DNA sequence: CCTCGTTTGTGAAACGTTTCATGCAACGGA
DNA sequence: TCCGTTGCATGAAACGTTTCACAAACGAGG
C-alpha cells in the first residue's frame, strides 16, 4: 500500500539512489531516466515519507506558530502574514492554539520540539523565564517572540510599542476634551495590557489630567467587555467616565454593545477607543476608533527573522523589531456634538 | 547537542532497548533502572526524535484540520471543538488555512500526506471529485469532511442541515410579516451558500410568497456584505426588501454596518438574519438574529469519528452526521415597531 | 594508444527510534 | 536436584530516506 522509493526504483529499473536524485536534484539525472522514474512514481502513487526524509536530512520545512487565542482576529491576521512569507519560501505553517493556558502551551512546545520543526513563532502566555523556550533555542531551533518585548537576548522578537499605543489613545481622547477617562482590560498580568495602560496613564499625567479609572477584566473577550461596561454604567453620573480606552477591540466591542443596551450613545455620552483595529472594529455599527497594529506585517517580519536565522545560524544576530502603532479615528470617538454645535 | 537514546543508554549504563522501554512501557522495567535512565534523560536534556519514532512505529499523533478561512470565527470554534477531543486522547491538532484557495489546499494536503498524519479534518474548497482526498484515503489516512455534505461514500462527514437552516430563517421572517425578502451571499458555487438559499426559497414558495431577491457576493466577508447592502439601499423603496437573510454572519455584519451608515434602522426599516451565530453576532450593536450551528460540537464530532476510524479501521463504517440548526432570535429581526404599537 | 575529465548511475552507510526473539538469573514447587 | 516460571535486560533488525565515495562509459586531447 505505502509504496517506497525502493519499489519505485525496482519498477523503473534503476537504483534507489537515482530515484532520490530525481526527487531532490532532477538536473543531475539524464532526461530519459528521469522520465522513466517519474512514470513509475506516477503509476505507484508514490508519496515521499517525510519522517524518513527528515530523520536522515535533519531538516524540516514546517514552521509553527503558537498563538494566545485562535479566536482573536488579531492573531489570525498575524498568522496570515507569516503564512505569506513561509509559503513563499516553500515551507508550511501550522497553527497551534494555547488558548492562554500555560499547560497547553507547554504541551505544544514539547511536541514541536519532538518534531524538530524548522522554527517556532510564539506569543508566550507568561512573561517570565521560559526554560522550555531556552532549551528549544539551545537545541538549535530558532524561536521568534511575537507581540512580546524581548526579555532575554537569545532570540529575536517583533512587537509593537504598546506604551506608545496607550499614549496615543489617551492623548486623542484628551484632545477631544475628555477629562474622566477609563481604562478597561485585563488580566493585568499580561504585558500587552499593562503596557497600554502605562502609556495612557503617563500621557494623562503629563497633561495634568487625573489618572484613569481602571476596570480589570478576567480576559480580553467580548463578554468580559460587556460585564465591565455594566460596572461602569452603574457608577453615579458624576463619577462616570466620558471616555473609555479598551485594551483590545474584543473588549471594546463588548463595551459598545453593553453601553448601547443601557441606552447610552457612543460617542455622545461616552467615547470609545479600542486596540488592534481588527476588521470587526471598522465594521461595528458605531465604527470603532482603534489603535492599529500592523498585524500582517508583524507576522511577515517574524517569519522573515525566523527564516533568516534558520538559513544562516552562524552569522545571525538576534534582532528586536518594534513597530509604531497609529490611531484609526472613527465615529466612536468623534468630537462630542454638544461641543461642535 | 542533540542527545539520542544511545547516549542516554551509555550514560545510564544500560542497553538502548531499555531506554526505549522506559519511554514507552515504564512498567516493565525495574524501578531502579528506570530511575537511573530517567536521571540520564534529565541530565542530557534528551528529547525524543519524533521522525525516527514515527518512521519506525508508522503512526503519528497529529491530527490536521484544514479550514476554509482561519479568520472566520465559525471555523476557529470548530477548531476548538476538535482540539478538545484530540487533546483528550493525547494527540495534537495543527491548523492549516486554505483561505478558500484550491492551490493552497492542495499544497497543504500534499504535505500532510507526506507527513503521514494520523488523520485530516477538512472543509474542502470545492465540491467536486477530490482525487487528492481519494488518494489519501486509500493510503489509509482517515479523512472526515466538515460542514460539507458527503458526496462520496469513502469517508465520514459531519454537517449541519443548511437547507433546513435557510428554511428556518425564511419562515421566521415571513412570520414577522415580511413579504419582500432578500438573500445575500456567495459565491453561489459554495455548497453552504446554495443550500441556505434553496431552503429559504423553498419555504417562501410553500408560503405563497414571492421568491427572494438574490444578491451574490464574491466572498463571505464583512466588506462583501457592506457592498451588497449598498446595492440594496440604492433600490427604489417600492422594490427594496424589508428583510435580508445573509449566508453568514460576517456578511450580515457588513450589511448591518452599511445600512446604519445609510441611515436605515435595523430592524425597523429592514430586518436582518445571519447565519452561524458567531460571538460577534450577539455582540453587535444591534444584536443579530442568526441561525445557530453547533460549531464546537461539529468539531468534536468530526474528531471523534476520525479517532474512531483511526483506532479500528477494520470495523469502521463511514457515517454522515447531520445536525439541526436552530434560530437565535435577537433584536435585528424583532417585530417591526409600527406593527407592535 | 594512453590519460584525463565529465557525465551518469550505483550501493552502502547512516539517521534515531521501536520491536522482538533471546539470554540470564532467581525463585518456587515437586 | 531439577524444571518450569517469572522478571528484567539485551542486541540486532527494520522503518524509508539522503548522501557520499566510487564505478562505468564515453569522448577529447596529447
pLDDT single digits (tens) B223-259: 899 999 999 999 998 999 999 999 999 999 999 989 9
The two beta strands, B271-276 and B243-246, are parallel
Q: Is residue B43 part of a domain?
A: yes
Question: Are B258 and B207 part of one and the same domain?
Answer: yes
Helical ranges in A156-315 per DSSP H: 162-175, 191-206, 222-233, 249-261, 279-282, 295-311
pLDDT at A340: 37
Question: Are B129 and B177 part of one and the same domain?
Answer: no
How do residues A160-211 score in pLDDT, each as one tens digit?
Answer: 999 999 999 999 999 999 999 999 999 998 899 999 999 999 999 999 999 9
Find out whether B54 and B109 touch, Cβ atoms under 8 Å. no
Nearest to B285 among A49, A138, A284 (CB): A284
Q: Is residue A340 part of a domain?
A: no
How do residues A238-294 score in pLDDT, each as one tens digit?
Answer: 999 999 999 999 999 999 989 988 999 999 999 999 999 998 888 777 889 999 999
**Residue of A17, A6, A3, A7 whose CA lies nearest to A46:** A3
Question: Are B236 and B152 part of one and the same domain?
Answer: no
Q: Is residue B272 part of a domain?
A: yes
* Angstrom distances, CA of residue B243 to CA of A209, A223, B4, B270: 48, 28, 66, 5
Question: Are B74 and B14 part of one and the same domain?
Answer: no
Cβ separation A285–B283 shorter than 8 A: no
Residue A1 Cβ < 7 Å to strand D = no
Overall number of domains in chain B: 3
- Three cell numbers written together for A298: 508583524
pLDDT band at residue B336 under the 50/70/90 scheme: low
How do residues B11-24 score in pLDDT, each as one tens digit?
Answer: 999 999 999 999 99
Residue with cell 484550491: B102
Q: Is residue B53 part of a domain?
A: no
b/e for B257-279, b at 16 or more Cβ within 10 A?
bbbbeeebebbeebbbbbbbbbb
The two beta strands, B289-292 and B326-328, are antiparallel
pLDDT at B279: 85
* Between A154 and B93, residue with greater pLDDT: B93
Residue B14 Cβ < 7 Å to strand D = yes
CA to C1' distance (Å), from B9 to D15: 21
Question: Are B145 and B156 part of one and the same domain?
Answer: yes
Question: Are A88 and A170 part of one and the same domain?
Answer: no
Residue A202 Cβ < 7 Å to strand C = no
What backbone phi and psi angles, to 5 degrees, belong to B95? -105, 130
Q: Is residue A338 part of a domain?
A: no
Cβ separation A51–B49 shorter than 8 A: no
pLDDT at A130: 83
**Residue of A200, A65, A72 whose CA lies nearest to A146:** A65
Question: Are B173 and B212 part of one and the same domain?
Answer: yes
Average pLDDT on B44-73 reads 93
| B19: three-class secondary structure by DSSP | helix
Burial class (CB in 10 A: 0-12, 13-18, 19+), A36: middle
pLDDT band at residue B339 under the 50/70/90 scheme: very low
Give, as ranges, the nucleotides of chain D with any atom within 7 Å of a protein CB. Answer: 7-21
Question: Are A25 and A172 part of one and the same domain?
Answer: no
- Three cell numbers written together for A137: 533555542
Average pLDDT on B114-118 reads 94
Question: Are A114 and A174 part of one and the same domain?
Answer: no
pLDDT at B340: 37
Interface A-B, measured as beta-carbon pairs within 8 A, has a size of 158
pLDDT band at residue A151 under the 50/70/90 scheme: low
| A125: three-class secondary structure by DSSP | coil
Interface test with B, best of A94, A256, A274, A276 (most B CBs within 10 A): A94
Find out whether A15 and B21 touch, Cβ atoms under 8 Å. no
Which residue range(s) make up the domain with B103?
Answer: 58-160+294-323
CATH code, A178: 3.40.50.2300
Residue B17 Cβ < 7 Å to strand D = yes
Cβ separation A45–B285 shorter than 8 A: no
Residue with cell 484544514: B66
Nearest to B70 among A76, A104, A114 (CB): A76
Q: Taking 80 as the threshold, does the pLDDT of residue A338 lie above it? A: no
Q: Could you tell me the pTM of the whole model? A: 0.90
Residue B20: which nucleotide is closest by CA–C1'?
A: C18
Among A75-89, A250-264, A265-279, B324-338, the least confident range: B324-338
Distance from CA of A256 to the nearest CA of B (A): 7
CATH code, A21: 1.10.260.40
pLDDT at B150: 64
Question: Are A113 and A89 part of one and the same domain?
Answer: yes
Q: Is residue A101 part of a domain?
A: yes
Nearest to B94 among A54, A76, A95 (CB): A95
**Residue of B269, B285, B268, B279 whose CA lies nearest to A266:** B285
Amino acid at each position: 500500500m505505502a509504496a517506497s522509493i525502493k519499489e519505485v526504483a525496482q519498477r523503473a529499473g534503476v537504483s534507489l539512489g537515482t530515484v532520490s536524485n530525481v526527487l531532490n536534484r532532477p538536473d543531475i539525472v539524464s532526461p530519459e531516466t528521469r522520465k522513466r522514474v517519474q512514470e513509475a512514481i506516477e503509476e505507484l502513487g508514490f508519496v515521499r515519507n517525510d519522517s524518513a526524509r527528515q530523520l536522515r536530512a535533519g531538516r524540516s520545512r514546517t514552521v509553527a506558530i503558537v498563538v494566545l487565542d485562535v479566536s482573536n482576529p488579531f492573531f489570525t491576521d498575524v498568522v496570515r502574514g507569516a503564512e505569506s512569507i513561509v509559503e513563499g519560501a516553500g515551507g508550511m505553517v501550522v497553527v497551534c492554539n494555547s488558548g492562554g493556558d500555560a499547560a497547553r502551551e507547554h504541551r505544544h512546545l514539547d511536541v514541536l520540539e519532538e518534531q524538530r520543526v524548522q522554527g517556532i513563532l510564539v506569543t508566550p502566555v507568561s512573561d517570565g523565564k521560559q526554560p522550555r523556550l531556552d532549551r528549544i533555542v539551545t537545541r538549535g531551533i530558532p524561536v521568534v517572540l511575537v507581540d512580546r518585548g524581548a526579555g532575554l537576548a537569545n532570540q529575536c522578537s517583533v512587537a509593537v510599542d504598546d506604551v506608545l499605543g496607550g499614549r496615543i489613545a489617551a492623548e486623542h481622547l484628551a484632545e477631544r476634551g475628555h477629562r474622566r477617562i477609563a481604562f478597561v482590560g485585563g488580566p493585568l498580568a499580561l504585558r500587552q495590557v499593562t503596557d497600554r495602560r502605562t502609556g495612557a496613564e503617563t500621557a494623562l499625567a503629563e497633561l495634568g489630567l487625573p489618572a484613569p479609572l481602571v476596570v480589570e477584566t478576567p480576559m480580553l473577550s467580548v463578554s468580559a467587555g460587556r460585564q465591565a461596561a455594566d460596572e461602569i454604567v452603574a457608577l453615579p453620573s458624576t463619577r462616570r467616565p466620558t471616555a473609555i480606552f479598551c485594551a483590545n477591540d474584543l473588549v471594546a466591542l463588548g463595551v459598545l454593545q453593553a453601553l448601547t443596551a443601557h441606552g447610552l450613545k457612543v460617542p455622545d455620552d461616552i467615547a470609545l477607543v479600542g486596540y488592534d483595529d481588527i476588521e470587526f472594529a471598522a465594521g461595528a455599527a458605531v465604527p470603532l476608533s482603534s489603535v492599529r497594529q500592523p498585524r500582517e506585517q508583524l507576522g511577515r517580519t517574524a517569519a522573515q527573522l525566523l527564516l533568516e536565522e534558520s538559513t544562516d545560524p552562524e552569522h545571525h544576530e538576534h534582532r528586536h523589531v518594534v513597530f509604531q502603532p497609529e490611531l484609526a479615528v472613527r465615529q466612536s470617538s468623534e468630537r462630542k456634538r454638544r461641543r461642535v454645535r
